[in-house]
Amino acid sequence: MATLCRPTVSVPEHVITMEETLDLARSVHADHPQLALALRLMENTGVKKRHLLRPIEETLKHPGFEQRNAVYEAEAKARVPAVVRQALTDAELRPQDIDLIIYVSCTGFMMPSLTAWMINRMDFRGDTRQMPIAQLGCAAGGAAINRAHDFCTAYPEANALIVACEFCSLCYQPTDLDVGNLLSNGLFGDGLAAAVVRGRGGTGVDLERNGSYLVPDTEEWIAYDVRSTGFHFKLDKRVPGTMEPLAPALQELAGQHGWDASDLDFYIIHAGGPRILDDLSKFLGVAPEAFRFSRATLTEYGNIASAVVLDALRRLFDEGGAHQTARGLLAGFGPGITAEMSLGRWRVASGRGAAPTRIADLVPGLAFAEEPHRAG
């Protein structure tokens, strides 16, 4: 049984509060005819603060897509190793025990993927499989969990590493005055996360079933308009209402498994905004408190795209986890409109601290000396 182990989450050191965000919007866009609407939408996100890769003075500048992408690559290489090392430590594995690396990101571009750099620099095996996912946006965190589950189901002795690296602030477009783009300036934050899915052993969520669902004819509701200046975020005003068609998809998946999605023990849900969580609570018939981990991520970090589901899961671990065999639902939502969903039970590894299953020859371990910035 594939087990999703404790995620490690890291956010950059620069912080901007919602009050500061609103003041900046009033200053930078004082003449915008829909400024009042944009401010109201930002205030209603539930975000209190976000973490940014660079100081706000630098974030507001646009030196060009080429330079921004260079910053993305440099910062990813500087920050990813620490979260990966901690995630491996928490899963009681070494780089040589990983058979698949899934790297998800929608805020920068590299070819080859950062997976190749990780294999070369971090002592992963040369035959480690690589799976970069770049175009599922916020849903990619859920997709990564599902593809890791699929892999470990096909190869029961294997282990997969998930890495999510999102520097949303590098997509800030100062001349894009669309209201959806202005809203994104107050909603999205920067963050990284990593987690291991073990084919055998481990403490966390035993993944039992996964599925995907695409809401018909919504592919333009969340999108990037790719221009010479980089990625311009497009957000349709109908997006907050997508839980009405997605809630039945969650119920359907649970029903196929003999479960009731309205009667589970824990929920790890992508926090795209408070309306998403409020509506899902309504349509699933569960208490708002069920989504407390997702709301905490949104409040403290903003929407950190594909890393949200991993951060929400990390908060469940921080709370002490769940009781043995507790049933739960994980879901990420993003462009498409796409839902990536999975079901699993909480498990605590027997003989905690014993040597994990190895499918490769053991070599001396690495020294895990680096600590993530503000790691959870």
pLDDT digit string, tens, across residues 107-127:
999 999 999 999 999 999 999
One domain for residues 108 and 190: yes
pLDDT digit string, tens, across residues 222-275:
888 888 888 888 888 888 888 999 999 999 999 999 999 999 999 999 988 888
Least confident of 129-143, 155-169, 276-290, 351-365: 351-365
Domain holding 292: CATH number? 3.40.47.10
Structure-token pair, residue 45: 């996100």
pLDDT at 359: 31
One domain for residues 21 and 102: yes
One domain for residues 249 and 271: yes
Q: Is residue 62 part of a domain?
A: yes
One domain for residues 225 and 331: yes
One domain for residues 112 and 247: no
One domain for residues 80 and 228: no
Chain centroid offset of residue 90 CA: 18
One domain for residues 142 and 257: no
One domain for residues 232 and 167: no
pLDDT digit string, tens, across residues 34-56:
889 989 988 889 899 999 999 99
Instruction: Examine the pLDDT at 355 and tell me if it is beyond 50.
Output: no
pLDDT digit string, tens, across residues 162-207:
999 999 999 988 888 787 778 888 899 999 999 999 999 999 999 9
Q: Is residue 365 part of a domain?
A: no
One domain for residues 215 and 190: no
Catalytic residues: 138
Range of the domain at 17: 3-198
Q: Is residue 376 part of a domain?
A: no
One domain for residues 185 and 272: no
Q: Is residue 358 part of a domain?
A: no
Q: Is 338 helix (H, G, I), strand (E, B) or coil?
A: strand
Task: State which of 198, 233, 262 marks the end of a domain.
Answer: 198
Beta strands at 190-198 and 159-167: parallel, antiparallel or unpaired: antiparallel
Q: How far apart are CA 55 and CA 89, in angstroms?
A: 31
Count of domains for the chain? 2
Instruction: Examine the pLDDT at 361 and tell me if it is beyond 60.
Output: no
Give first-to-last CA distance, the chain, whole Å. 26
pLDDT at 357: 37
Q: Is residue 217 part of a domain?
A: yes
One domain for residues 155 and 69: yes
Q: Is residue 327 part of a domain?
A: yes
Q: Is residue 212 part of a domain?
A: yes
For residue 154, give Cα distances in angstroms to 92, 150, 340: 22, 6, 19
For residue 142, give Cα distances in angstroms to 24, 232, 327: 33, 23, 17
One domain for residues 180 and 110: yes
- Tell me the mean pLDDT in the region 204-221: 95
Instruction: Examine the pLDDT at 320 and tell me if it is beyond 70.
Output: yes
Instruction: Examine the pLDDT at 295 and tell me if it is beyond 90.
Output: yes
For residue 282, name the pLDDT band (cuts at 50, 70, 90): very high
Q: Is residue 372 part of a domain?
A: no
For residue 368, name the pLDDT band (cuts at 50, 70, 90): very low
Q: What are phi and psi of 244, to 5 degrees?
A: -60, -45
pLDDT at 303: 95
pLDDT at 51: 97
Q: Give yes or no for a contact between 52 and 167, defined as CB atoms under 8 angstroms apart.
A: no
Task: State which of 153, 175, 198 marks the end of a domain.
Answer: 198
pLDDT at 362: 29
CA atoms within 13 A on the CB side of 39: 16
Instruction: Examine the pLDDT at 332 and tell me if it is beyond 70.
Output: yes
pLDDT at 376: 38
Q: What is the pTM of this model?
A: 0.90
Task: State which of 152, 172, 198 marks the end of a domain.
Answer: 198
Instruction: Examine the pLDDT at 372 and tell me if it is beyond 60.
Output: no
Bridge partners (DSSP) listed for residue 212: 340
For residue 342, give Cα distances in angstroms to 145, 330, 354: 8, 5, 28
